[in-house]
Amino acid sequence: MALYSEKVMDHFRNPRNVGVIEDADGVGEVGNAKCGDIMKIYLKIDNDIISDVKFETFGCGSAIASSSMATELIKGKPVSEAMTLTNKAVAEALDGLPAHKLHCSVLAEEAIKAALKDYYDKNGIEYDASLFPDCESCGHCCGE
């Protein structure tokens, strides 16, 4: 059995939505150089719909594939639906990740939520803070 699914390899070799949105409505960055994976997600939101999403990821193939798949899963969706995206959904959409690479799907979920939080903050939209990762203490990507 191969270590990586065909979908992981496809999203690694042909990542979707790579790039920067200069006038992004929300930007989220998670990870740190110590763990080796850094993800940055850019969102363009029109009438509460994610009209465009781009990412920049520095990391392994699983991190790139997770970023690519996560952007595909939220593009064109309402903000409320993007808020419900889980790392499990990202991993399942990729037909699985090796256990030691599941943190990559967690980073993708957290990067999207960080971008959504940035969008809410920039626009003065109230939100439940418990729905967002606490990057100072989460331990997944940047916790000490």
Q: CB neighbours of 94 closer than 8 A, spacing ≥ 6?
A: 5, 7, 8, 11, 65, 66, 69, 105
Is residue 35 flagged as an active site residue? yes
Choose the catalytic residue: 60, 104, 138, 142.
104
Q: Report d(CA 17, CA 70) in Å as an integer.
A: 10
Structure tokens at 29: 């960055």
Is residue 138 flagged as an active site residue? no
- For 43, the 3-state DSSP assignment is strand
Residues serving a catalytic function are 35, 104
